[in-house]
Amino acid sequence: MRGLASFVMRGRGQATLVVATTAVLSALVPPVSWLSSGALALVTLRKGNREGLLVLVAALVGAGVLSQLSLGSPLPALSFALVLWLPVLIMAVVLRATVSLGAAMAVAGLLGLVAVAVVHVLLGDPGPWWVAVLGPMIEPALQSMDVQQAVGVRDSIDAASGYLTGLMVAAGLFNLVLGLVIGRLWQAGLYNPGGFRRDFHALRLPRVAAIVAIVLFAAVLALGGMPGVVMDMAAVTVVPCALAGLGLVHGLVGGRKGGMIWLVGLYLLLVLALPEMSVALAAMGLANAWFGLVERFGVKPGTS
């Protein structure tokens, strides 16, 4: 990956080539989109906001041409620019200006809240829309089931549809943040070894972001976990809070003896119990926003 990052930094043409081609390739291999957004973030962080914007525009043109040739329409390139590149550019601009991953995470959360609000404004209740979208996709599988099983699956989809907006926006937000993190990792690897580790261990959300998250979580509890715009916004808010909690854990145990064992255990738990661990990490991230736990415990960033 260091070679790819070095290639991106050779010039605008090289950066545009990587951002555009990886975007088109992500239609076949979705994780490749992380390289596209990571390359854009790297250019913005290292060369400035104007250069990042110029690469975005050039990549949009290039990806539009490639998309037209390969998929028969330039629209996927436009949607890619709006859904991935522009938000990552905004987060990279904030990170470059503030030198704070916490501020960038707060802006990421704000973008997620805006996305949820837009969906609810445009669709009203997005639940039926999700049912209409998923219905044709699962119909072949339903035809191979008996009547009782098919009814059970349809009922499950109906019940889950009210929560899908928040989950999908949260997943998309995580992808955006991952692209930014890749860009910051590349920047640190090329120009500032160890810089990302220090940033990640010092990740602390602004208190105003923590207040918004706490209000949303309290509202969800007051509403009994009912699906709706509040639940969707709370689900999105978990992402930056959980990442802040993850940074806290790295900061607390990274420099201790046996810290790597703790981190391996943490990531195993994330794989086995993602929802529960996400909530636990989010709570830790919120606690750190108020109390500065890494500083309070006097733990210096380690090597994790």
Residues 142 and 243 in one domain: yes
Query: Where in the sequence is the domain holding 144, given as residue range(s)?
Result: 100-304
* 136 & 163 share domain: yes
Q: Are residues 2 and 109 in the same domain?
A: no
Kindly state the DSSP code that residue 83 receives in the 8-state scheme: I
Per-residue DSSP letter, 125: S
Quote the tokens at residue 188. Answer: 């640190």
End-to-end CA distance of the chain: 19
Q: Which residues contact 213 (CB under 8 A, 6 or more apart)?
A: 109, 205, 234, 237, 241, 282, 286
Rounded Cα–Cα distance for residues 295 and 304 (Å): 17
Q: Indicate if 123 and 234 belong to the same structural domain.
A: yes
**Percent of the chain residues past pLDDT 90, beyond the cut:** 61
81 and 219: one domain?
no
CA 28 centroid distance within chain: 20
Pick from 98, 130, 157: which residue ends a domain? 98
What mean pLDDT do residues 55-75 have? 86
Q: Do 285 and 151 belong together in one domain?
A: yes
pLDDT (mean) for 38-67: 94
CA dihedral 98, 218, 227, 116 (to 10 degrees): -20
Looking at the structure, tell me whether residues 277 and 173 fall in a common domain: yes
pLDDT tier, 299 (very low <50, low <70, confident <90, very high otherwise): low
Total domains, the chain: 2
Predicted TM-score (pTM) of this structure: 0.90
Same domain, 272 and 181: yes
Query: Which residue, of 83, 98, 113, is where some domain finishes?
Result: 98
Q: How many CB atoms lie within 10 A of CB 96?
A: 19
| 104 shares its domain with 94 | no
Decide if 276 contacts 188 (C-beta within 8 A): no
pLDDT digits (tens, 9 = 90+) for 126-161: 988 998 888 888 888 777 777 778 778 888 888 888
Mean pLDDT of the chain: 90
Do 148 and 232 have their domain in common? yes
Contact 198, 304 (CB under 8 A): no
**What tens digit of pLDDT does each residue of 229-246 get?**
999 999 999 999 999 999
Does residue 224 surpass a pLDDT of 50? Answer: yes
Same domain (yes/no): 110, 238? yes
Identify which has the larger pLDDT, 13 or 252.
Answer: 13
Do 18 and 167 belong to one domain? no
Of 98, 127, 144, the residue at which a domain comes to its end is 98
Across 83-99, average pLDDT = 95
* Distance, CA of 182 to CA of 179 (rounded, Å): 5
The pLDDT score that the predictor gives to residue 303 is 43
